[in-house]
Structure 1
């Protein structure tokens, strides 16, 4: 008969071996370990060619393909959170997302809240007014629209064009989610024009040849500093990693290839 002490020791050893074996087969995955394996980006679909839904309801676009490359180079699985543009910075600061990759302009006010990595476009000195079929007679500037019977201009909610048009108190600014709804409002005669960034105007005209474009010069104070990837200021490690990846993609020509794929004309 096996001594009682030996039985106890044997039982303990057997239990430990079983536990270790089970752990090896099925490692326990905490929320932290899952987070380390994923890259969560925030964007708002409905802003072609940066991010929008295809016919099958899948989010595609320039930003999406860029985010896929960033995640791949980081060895992480990409997770996309489709959210309202206005809530992206707050979600980033609260740690709900890792990056903003959402066609977001670099502006002095945004740089006070988050860090931004330039990835597309140079400093821009103009916006574009988009009209359907024709530019109204006598309209050569935004100021001229104020003289029309229905002085309304559509913009995407939370965008830089929205901030810009709000300086004109004698023009009614109509804000919409995404970039399609503002254009349709113009098409059906409810508004005079849609104010967008130049890249977006070029893309829209390619899809809708009826569109006419009027360039609107920006003052030095209103100039756009290009598009940037948003990173939480405290997350310097991720900032440096993504910055390095963008530099690599530029040097290899891969970023240029993406731009040529999604933008008809890249300056």
Structure 2
């Protein structure tokens, strides 16, 4: 009886050991790790304060033209999209340090930025706009003399304001702020006299806040594009997706959805 009991205990222990070994060897592969081929993650950087390209809804979710575009690109390439919201002037740094794989944030593909990052083909071109109070006496760029013009940090409008002062001989103060919402707040409280912004974004604020403004007649800025780290391997694949979206009308559908009211 003693020998039989020992055999039963030994058999039970052996069975348990085999079971644990099977769980240990098969569990990781069966469940799929974050680095597995079935769970590829595409990390996108954006600054969600730039409607209609990117902003947050009442639930705190990122929405907008760039968000929908990124979701489509990720789906077409077989990635799960992961969005990181940060200040606009920190986006290129995030690319360079590998914190994100791409940036969609209404970013214009300027020659200066091309020294630091690679860009996809352009997906939108808006132009620049000066937002003012509706009854403002600022009706042209010449009227900016002696005034304070607000711009967003790190944008082409920040550079453009300096260009206007140098090339057009204008004399105004430039005030740089973190985002477009702050620019409108500063305008409405009289801390700045005009806000210099991307036109698609500006027109939305004009309609919502009952403001005024006018186009910058001197601008010839480049269009918006997706930014990648220098020498990255995603640019060609993303360009193929953008070309297909242009061809099948998907890109125009996104413009109709998000930008049609901004014209």
Match of 1:250, SS state, is helix
Alignment check: 8 A CA contact 1:152 1:191 kept = yes
C-alpha separation between the residues in 2 aligned to 1:235 and 1:20?
A: 40
Q: Which residue of 1 aligns with 2:121?
A: 118
When the two chains are superposed, the root-mean-square deviation of aligned CA atoms in Å is 2.7
Question: What's 1:24 paired with?
Answer: 26
Structure 2, unaligned runs of 5 or more: 1-12
For residue 224 of structure 2, the aligned residue among 196, 210, 227 is: 227
Say which of 235, 238, 241 aligns to 2:237.
Answer: 241
Show CA shifts across 1:116-171 (max 9, x none).
Answer: 1134224x6x52111122231xx343332214xxx111111111111111343832
Distance 1:146 1:244, change over 3 A: same
Structure 1: 4+ residue segments shifted above 4 A:
14-18, 28-32
Correspondence for 1:191:
192
How far is the alpha carbon of 1:225 from its aligned partner? 1.4
| Matched residue SS, 1:118 | coil
CA contact (8 A) 2:130 2:214 kept: yes
Q: Spell out, residue by residue over 1:238-265, the C-alpha distance to the aligned partner (whole angstroms, 9 max, x if none).
A: 1111111111111111111111111135
- The question of 1:176 aligning with 2:177 is answered yes
SS at 1:97 equivalent: coil
From the two aligned structures, give the one with the greater helix fraction. Answer: 2
Could you tell me which runs of 5 or more consecutive residues in structure 1 were left unpaired when the two chains were aligned: 1-10
Contact 1:203–1:263, Cα closer than 8 Å, also in 2: no
CA apart distance, 1:31 = 6.3
Aligned to 1:217: 217
Aligned-partner SS, 2:121: strand
Q: Paired residues, what number?
A: 246
Q: State the SS of the aligned residue for 1:166.
A: helix
* Preserved contact between residue 152 and residue 171 of structure 1 (Cα < 8 Å): yes
* 1:57 corresponds to 2:60: yes
Q: What's the TM-score once normalised by structure 2's chain length?
A: 0.83
